[in-house]
Structure 1
């Protein structure tokens, strides 16, 4: 592997990882030449404000998730109950679907025809056995 290939592998993804602070991942770089110091300062303040909002929203979400779990616990809703309800709802959706009804009707008709055919074969075998005696 030559030096250019090594360099391209070392400089792969510079996007911040999930949970990584955007300000620390960028590092201290000089502002673009077209940006004034005032614009840079304003963007820096916006960055801090957005990060604070994200932190607040994360805390609110965590509190809401705890509240949800507490309400479910008080109502006696367990993960197993939820799973049972989801399976029941899904089964109900399947059984009321047009495709299921058509398939069920087709299989029912096929079952009746198969039963009649087996009955006829049984009768024929019985007659043959009686003829042999």
Structure 2
């Protein structure tokens, strides 16, 4: 390239705006315009050649991937996996993970404490004089309705048997009442 051609290619020598092309063309000599036209053709040919080479490389790449069994879905999975690994290696992710882990441990401890408190309160209620009195009344009702105490079950068994006994007593009364009418 000669110095005139190099001057034309410098960014600061190119005018800007809508009339830049017309203004620049008017300032160029016929010889300079011809040089630029030839260079334009050469660059366009190089771009076209590079596009052909790129298309051929892309076809070859697709062929190799097909032979290896690499599908777009496989590539997507690999990209996502790599992206997740990249994210997991960041300081922000590690700090957030540690914070959430600590919060989870604290929540677990709090829930365990609440469960212990509730269990303790239920035991206190079961051992309270009011509950014992209620339990004795249910036992008494059961012995009056269902006969002598057959087993020493827990409170739930006592309630169930008392309910069954009162249901059968109600049925007996209903049958006798129907016979009298």
Give the TM-score normalised by the residue count of structure 1. Answer: 0.67
2:116 is aligned to 123
**Aligned residue runs from structure 1 range 82-93, under 5 A:** 82-93=75-86
Poorly superposed stretches of 4+, deviation over 6 Å: none
Q: C-alpha offsets along residues 40-59 of structure 1, whole Å, 9 cap, x if unaligned?
A: 22222222222111111111
Q: Out of 43, 64, 68, which is 2:36 matched to?
A: 43
1:77 is aligned to 70
Q: C-alpha offsets along residues 10-39 of structure 1, whole Å, 9 cap, x if unaligned?
A: xxxx7xxxxxxxxxxx8xxxx41x322222
Q: Out of 74, 78, 99, which is 1:106 matched to?
A: 99
Q: Which moved more, 1:98-107 or 1:82-91?
A: 98-107
Q: Structure 2: which 5+ runs fail to align? A: 1-17, 127-181
Corresponding pairs, count = 108
Kindly tell me: are residues 125 and 78 of structure 1, through their superposed partners in 2, closer, same or farther at Cα, counting changes over 3 Å? same
Q: C-alpha offsets along residues 83-129 of structure 1, whole Å, 9 cap, x if unaligned?
A: 11111112222223332222222222222221111111112122222
Q: Structure 1: which 5+ runs fail to align? A: 1-13, 15-25
**What is the CA RMSD across the aligned residues, in angstroms?**
2.6
Query: Which of the two has greater helix per residue?
Result: 2
Structure with greater Cα Rg: 2
